[in-house]
Amino acid sequence: MVKVLFVCLGNICRSPMAEAMFRHEVKREGLEKKIQVDSAGTGDWHVGQPPHHGTLKILEKYSISAEGLKARQIQERDLDEFDYIIAMDSDNKRNIEMLKTAYPKAKIEVLLDFVPDVQVKNVPDPYYTGNFQEVFDLVEQGCKNLLDHIKTTDLIGKEGHAK
């Protein structure tokens, strides 16, 4: 089982959108028994809350289920539990790295580092910009490339056989 955690600041806009979209893609490819998905925020202001209405609206527009999304704050133990911790921007990544345990299991990466040809490196925060479509488009590219990466790196052995 490969475990993936998406992280933003509040866990109500970007990372729950990524969680829902990635889960959707994983399901579409029939990989739900091999890849587990979750999201969290570095901040605690919105713990227990559902996603922002802008995130819910755009997920609905693309018929992506928002079922079960509820904000939580990242914990130190997440770094020992997850294989990939995917930050929405470099500030989030820095804050996650401050929680680093002695021998963390997780690879901590920025989502758009999986998209080499994109202009921006950080997913803009729609809590401030209000532009959920821009975020959706960027997160979609990131999620697709991340899934390809996991499929080739973690799910397929050296001889090309499924792990």
23 is catalytic: no
Q: At what angle do helices 14-28 and 53-61 cross, to 10 degrees?
A: 30
Helix axes 132-150, 53-61, angle to 10 degrees: 70
Q: Catalytic annotation on 113?
A: no
Q: Which residues pair with 8 in a beta bridge?
A: 41
SS (H, E, C) 6-42: EEECCCCCHHHHHHHHHHHHHHHCCCCCCEEEEEEEC
Which residue is closest to ligand 4NP by CB?
Answer: 10
143 in active site: no
Lay out the site mask for ligand 4NP across 44-83 (x = CB under 6 A, - = otherwise): -x--------------------------------------
Least Cα distance to 8 among 127, 105, 157 occurs for 127
Cβ proximity to ligand 4NP, 14 vs 93, nearer residue: 14
Which residues sit opposite 32 in a β-bridge?
A: none
Nearer to ligand 4NP, 9 or 108 (CB): 9
Binding mask 13-32 for ligand 4NP (x = CB under 6 A): xx------------------
Q: Of residues 2, 4, 5, 10, which one binds ligand 4NP by CB under 6 A? A: 10
Annotated catalytic residue, options 38, 78, 89, 125 = 125
127 in contact with ligand 4NP (CB under 6 A): yes
CA dihedral angle for residue 78, residue 113, residue 89, residue 68, rounded to 10 degrees: -50
The footprint of ligand 4NP (CB under 6 A) covers: 8-14, 45, 125, 127
Positions marked active-site: 8, 14, 125
